[in-house]
Amino acid sequence: MMIKALGKHPLINALSLGLALAVTPAHAADFPDDDIKFISPAAPGGGSDYLIRSLQPSLEKQFGVNIIPQYLSGGGGAIGFMQSLNARPNGLTVVAIDNKVFTQQGMGNVNFTYDDFDYLGSLYSVPYVLAFNSDLGIGSLESILPGGEHHRKLKIGFAGIGSSTHIMSELLARRLDVNFDLVSYQGAPGLIAAVMGGHIDGVVLDPMDLRSALESGKMTAIAVTSGERSDGLPDVPTLKEKGYDINISNWRGVAAPQGLDEDVRSRWVAALKQASEDPAFQKRIEQLGIDVDFRSGPEFQDYVESLSSQLIPVAQAVASENR
């Protein structure tokens, strides 16, 4: 399976950011004493950006400071994650986090592990969607499988080497026994534009990134990776319905560098929980056909551990095969 990288990608291994965090954390009585930097490890316009913008009003009201989005795309999310870990663990820098943290570790692209983060809360989860340019006439999963009308080497794009969309694209190619020609782009907006322009055939992305393209009819979704159908795409079958034992979703949450003062951490968890209950936040999320499902504490940590055990081994296998 050939992978092409389009555009300039930062050299992750050359980005030695020094993750030593020997600093004195801030205490709750002083928090927050400055604006809060909220890192998106992806380009504007994607799922991480949407999470940050949706949380921003409630968090600014609660904390009484500005929430400043910072977009650090590149490296399939690795650049943003590494920059967030290089910050002081004082609660003034957080990062929008998802499955990319596991896949980057498994690929060996980074000098951190998922345990280097303090997982503050998960707001919701979405399936990965396999979708194609509608002009191709691919309307069902069966049509791309061996013996199907469109069974051929299809160009499938994903958002960054080592990203979760990369690993899910690889996983689907293996499980479905199809020969995808995988092509890397730096972010979802450019990836979708490439499908629209006919440069590639399809993508593996989450429904938030695909929303406009699917609603316009310019792209067609043929399968989702969640165990149950997505409320936002009720007519799109799951892979489990088609006989494949795949049940993996991409969650959207907030994390900070390990080392937060416990009181600061508690303030963040409480703020995220309150934001998740804010009617304006819920409306924004529900407009996408997604239910808010806030998790924190041991329940969230168990969820993180479960996903890491599924995705890291697949990413390791992909890295080994592509050396």
pLDDT tens-place values along the chain, 323 residues long: 545 444 434 434 444 444 443 344 445 667 999 999 999 998 888 889 999 999 999 999 999 999 999 999 888 888 999 999 999 999 999 999 999 999 999 999 899 999 999 999 999 988 999 999 999 999 999 999 999 999 999 999 998 888 889 999 999 999 999 989 999 987 788 899 999 999 999 999 988 788 889 999 999 999 999 988 988 899 999 999 999 999 888 899 999 999 999 999 999 999 999 999 999 999 999 887 788 999 999 989 999 998 899 899 989 998 888 76
CB 230 within 8 A of CB 127: yes
Do 60 and 70 belong together in one domain?
Answer: yes
Helix-, strand-, coil-residue percentages of the chain, each rounded to 5: 40, 20, 40
Q: Provide DSSP, 260-303.
A: --HHHHHHHHHHHHHHHT-HHHHHHHHTTT-----B-HHHHHHH
Do 120 and 57 belong together in one domain?
Answer: yes
Q: With respect to residue 231, please indicate whether it lies within any of the assigned structural domains.
A: no
Q: With respect to residue 22, please indicate whether it lies within any of the assigned structural domains.
A: no
The gap from C-alpha 164 to its chain's centroid, in whole angstroms, comes to 6
Q: What pLDDT, on a 0 to 100 scale, did the predictor assign at position 29? A: 67
Distance CA 95, CA 151 (A): 40
Q: Which CATH number fits the domain that encloses residue 169?
A: 3.40.190.10
**Which residues are CB-neighbours of 96 under 8 A, at least 6 positions away?**
38, 39, 40, 41, 42, 48, 51, 52, 252, 253, 254
Q: What pLDDT, on a 0 to 100 scale, did the predictor assign at position 20? A: 40
Do 261 and 291 belong together in one domain?
Answer: yes
Do 42 and 110 belong together in one domain?
Answer: yes
Distance CA 20, CA 85 (A): 9
Report the alpha-carbon angle 138-185-230, nearest 5: 50
Do 59 and 112 belong together in one domain?
Answer: yes
Q: With respect to residue 159, please indicate whether it lies within any of the assigned structural domains.
A: yes
Q: With respect to residue 28, please indicate whether it lies within any of the assigned structural domains.
A: no
Do 139 and 203 belong together in one domain?
Answer: yes
Q: What pLDDT, on a 0 to 100 scale, did the predictor assign at position 25? A: 46
Q: What pLDDT, on a 0 to 100 scale, did the predictor assign at position 207? A: 84
Q: What pLDDT, on a 0 to 100 scale, did the predictor assign at position 122? A: 97
Q: What pLDDT, on a 0 to 100 scale, did the predictor assign at position 3? A: 53
Q: Which CATH number fits the domain that encloses residue 276?
A: 3.40.190.150
Q: With respect to residue 44, please indicate whether it lies within any of the assigned structural domains.
A: yes
Domain that holds residue 274: 34-125+250-321
DSSP 167: H
Q: With respect to residue 48, please indicate whether it lies within any of the assigned structural domains.
A: yes
| The domain boundary residue, chosen from 224, 239, 267 | 224
Distance CA 29, CA 263 (A): 9
Q: With respect to residue 46, please indicate whether it lies within any of the assigned structural domains.
A: yes
Do 81 and 46 belong together in one domain?
Answer: yes
**Which residues are CB-neighbours of 243 under 8 A, at least 6 positions away?**
none
**Which residues are CB-neighbours of 262 under 8 A, at least 6 positions away?**
none
Q: Give the other-Cβ count within 10 Å of 94's Cβ.
A: 27
Domain count, the chain: 2
Do 82 and 160 belong together in one domain?
Answer: no
Q: With respect to residue 41, please indicate whether it lies within any of the assigned structural domains.
A: yes
Report the alpha-carbon angle 130-131-136, nearest 5: 135
Do 121 and 270 belong together in one domain?
Answer: yes
